[in-house]
Amino acid sequence: MRRTWLIFSQAVTVAVAVLFVIATLKPDWLQRRTTSGLPAGISINAVQPVALGRGEALNAPNSYSGAAKRATPAVVSITASKAPPRNPHGNDPWFQFFFGDRARQMQTEPQIGLGSGVIVSPEGYLLTNNHVIEGADEIEVQLSDGRRSRAKVVGTDPDTDIAVLKVTLDKLPVITFGNTDSLQVGDVVLAIGNPFGVGQTVTSGIVSALGRNQLGINIFENFIQTDAAINPGNSGGALVDASGNLLGINTAIYSRTGGSLGIGFAIPVSTARQVMEGLVKDGQVTRGWIGVEPRDLTPEIAETFNLPIKEGVLITGVLQEGPASAGGIRPGDVVVKVADTPVTNTSQLLTAVAALKPNAAAVIAVQRGDKALQVKVTVAQRPKAPPRHER
């Protein structure tokens, strides 16, 4: 037994000595595979390889080329044209005399708008922004492979600024939907679109914030904020992850100059997909509605009314004979929960009510002075929003 232990000790000593010599003289022999299981030459901070379709390349280290190749074929350029408004003085001889050819051009030149879109199904359905195609008489889509096609409007939802188009073409490239539930601030994203009409462009950045709302852009806001460059013409384009999966529809930028300042907003694909399914299936998006005017509850308001709560949504007005009025909700009530969903701001209240099924009863928890009440409201269907120029 003692002899066996002596032999084992000598063997371990020799092995450690050999390992030391190799580590000193030939360290590259020990770096062919790291302890994390990554191939040699790729650090844990590098972009992970992306498995694409057969015959497609993977992401190279420190490159997003694989994600771009996977996503860009499904991103299209959209040209929306609208007939020029009729000038009331167009037939006036004096108007024709003073303005000449310019007067005729003003009567005949269509208004052109440029934007982007994303192909999301082999049947030819596209997602874009409502403001890209709103009021258009003719919509043309150009694919990255050069093909062009007229597009038909399947439906629009101004409340989320989403529109669904349809084209009739064979062998369409289709983007893959990503998962926004696992999205985190700091994740790498790419913005793909047609900025300024220069052609398809890919920019990169990170997710700067999640759940941005109260920006006054849409009725229902839950934006992904990113510093990936988004410029005019990118509207309706794709925000994708480092694997080329669709995370959002690029919608707006914060800018004082008209160009990108590093603050852009995208509609989460979960919202866009829900809207698309409603528009394709029913021609409209069905949302709940109770008929109230909400306002965020501030600490100052809570103190003024001696409320025992600090969070909720103050009801400043109730539509006469509307669902909330019929259920017993009054101005001055503070909504703290809709069904089983807590609400702390106006955006959350709108979203929670919109998720309710029309013609069904819902229990809404309110704070009225020092009393906590449960109010049962029969939910109605949200009225269709008017076009932007009529709001």
What letter would DSSP give residue 386?
P
| Nearest by Cα to 50 from 69, 34, 32 | 69
Q: How far is CA 67 from the centre of its chain?
A: 18
* 131 part of the active site: yes
* 161 part of the active site: yes
| Choice among 77, 116, 131, 333 that is catalytic | 131
Give the separation between CA 226 and CA 184, rounded to whole angstroms.
11
| Choice among 235, 243, 260, 347 that is catalytic | 235
* 63 part of the active site: no
| Choice among 157, 159, 161, 241 that is catalytic | 161
Which residues lie below 8 Å from residue 365, measured CB to CB, with a gap of 6+?
Answer: 335, 336, 337, 338, 372, 373, 374, 375
Which residues lie below 8 Å from residue 4, measured CB to CB, with a gap of 6+?
Answer: none
Q: How many CB atoms lie within 10 A of CB 341?
A: 13
H or E segment and range at residue 204 = strand 201-212
User: Which residues make beta-bridge pairs with 182?
Assistant: none
What letter would DSSP give residue 72?
G
CA 334 to each of CA 7, 297, 304: distance values in angstroms, whole numbers, following the listed order? 81, 8, 13
Give the separation between CA 336 and CA 343, rounded to whole angstroms.
5
| Nearest by Cα to 86 from 103, 61, 100, 72 | 103
Q: How far is CA 328 from the centre of its chain?
A: 36
Catalytic residue numbers read: 131, 161, 235
